[in-house]
Amino acid sequence: MKTLPELSSDLANGRTTAKKLVKACLEKIADPAGEGSRAFIKVYADAAITAARASDAARALGQVTSPIAGIPISVKDLFDIQSDITRAGSKILANAPTATADAPAIQRLRAAGAIIVGRTNMTEFAYGAHGMNAHYGTPLNPWDRATRRIPGGSTSGGAVSVTDDMAAATIGSDTGGSVRIPSALCGITGFKPTQARVPLDGAFPLSFTRDSIGPLGNSVTCCAWLDAIMAGATAETPTAFPLKGMRLGVPKTILLDGLAPEVADAFGHALNCLSAAGAIVEEFNFPELQREHDGSKKANFSAIEAYALHRERLALHVDEFDPRVAKRLLLGANIDAADYVDLLQLRQSLITSANLTTARFDALLAPAAPIVAPTIAEMESSDEVFLKMNGLLLRNCAPFNVLNRPCWSLPCHRFGDAPVGLMVVGETMGDKRLQAIGLAIEMALATKR
């Protein structure tokens, strides 16, 4: 799996063409033995080939708009694409009006020369960390595929499109971990920015308080390039932050509880690698995480805001929803308005307090998910198991959407082992600094995997 810089170099030096890259992706998607039919809800084969030919013709004339010009990517099904329907992984919106324009994030990627090969599958309405979809199927995790494991969600098809070379990178959303969780479970890299960094217009919402838009790819630089373009800036490779003397905090509160053995082993190995490289790794108490956890038991942003969005559809067409999604959405009807106001006030208090608690660190470290990918059969064994596993997958990531922090999920497992993601958390609006830190950590871990 090549990175965007490698593909960009190949294009610049004539080792490949945009048409060849796009055709290779389309062949992977169409392979009946592969995951294309489950990873994609719609494929733009003809449009992608036409765009690739135009990109190659422009390059021949010396017209290259950005480093990602001519590179095929996929986008999550919740983004508006002009003249197409935004289903958000649902059946109920299959006959909705078509979008009149691209979402701004997608428009910026197109303007930079990216070629969109298709819309990827997702948990219906992005409401779930598992990545399963009752309507369009569930793309299988690339690890231990014979046992049929979940890919993580809600950006499930996007993650699998990258692992299986059906796209060079993908664009997802992250409300409680929907970029980081599938990245962690599938063994790729994902970046959740500070919410305000990338415009949310034209992206079907889950929780307007917590939604953010981020990329998944094969490296930190892949994600940094795409993030910069979606933020309206120029794609630049980060300069690695010096590891020697880097101050890395490991929250002991909640995030390390009950880790699966594979996760504990990979996370411990990553900490040892970073310490050996000169980083100062310190465990600390993070009481704001406990306060957030306790507050979310009473009222939850996603439950309230998603129910408000879908309440009319639920009242009239509840049978057209995935039953498990509908059941969780309906929980929002029972939350008191006063509790929601309390939650909004708690969030502001937590952000202010947490900023002080973590100010002495350059970044925070934790496992992106406390478990490895469970099997689909296990998830479907009972509603109790389903809810427990979904909650575990969200547990470590979701608090940082409440705190509005940028985060990485970086692969930290040894080659051949179950994929595990290292979550690296920065400060609000400290995205570029966190990208430099992420690059340094990626380089340190790559030599020890």
For the chain, domain boundaries:
4-172, 247-446
Task: Give me the catalytic one of 76, 161, 173, 432.
Answer: 76
pLDDT tops 90 at residue 55: yes
66 included as an active-site residue:
no
pLDDT tops 90 at residue 128: yes
Q: How buried is residue 308: exposed, middle or buried, by Cβ count under 10 Å (0-12/13-18/19+)? A: middle
pLDDT of residue 376: 98
Q: How many CA atoms, within 13 angstroms, populate the side-chain half-sphere of residue 74?
A: 37
Q: What is the pLDDT of residues 196-225, one digit of tens each?
A: 999 999 999 999 999 999 999 999 999 999
Alpha carbon 345 to chain centroid, angstroms: 27
pLDDT mean over 2-29: 98
Task: Give me the catalytic one of 55, 154, 156, 219.
Answer: 154
Domain 247-446 class? Answer: alpha beta
Contact 311, 373 (CB under 8 A): no
pLDDT of residue 1: 80
76 included as an active-site residue:
yes
pLDDT mean over 186-200: 98
Query: Which stretch of DSSP H or E encloses residue 12?
Result: helix 4-12
pLDDT mean over 399-424: 97
Number of helices followed by number of strands (H, E) in the chain: 17, 11
CATH topology match: 4-172 vs 247-446: yes
Q: What is the pLDDT of residues 283-334, one digit of tens each?
A: 999 999 999 999 998 899 999 999 999 999 999 999 999 999 999 999 999 9
pLDDT mean over 338-344: 96
Fold of 4-172: Amidase signature (AS) enzymes (3.90.1300)
In the chain, the percentage of residues whose pLDDT exceeds 90 is 98
Q: What is the pTM of this model?
A: 0.98
Task: Give me the catalytic one of 66, 90, 178, 212.
Answer: 178
pLDDT mean over 158-184: 98
List strands edge to edge, sheet with 421-425: 40-43, 115-120, 72-76, 170-173, 213-217, 189-192, 407-411, 421-425, 363-367, 247-251, 280-284
pLDDT of residue 418: 97
173 included as an active-site residue:
no
Contact 232, 431 (CB under 8 A): no
pLDDT tops 90 at residue 262: yes
pLDDT tops 80 at residue 189: yes
Q: How confident is the model at residue 46 (pLDDT cuts 50, 70, 90)?
A: very high
pLDDT tops 80 at residue 448: no
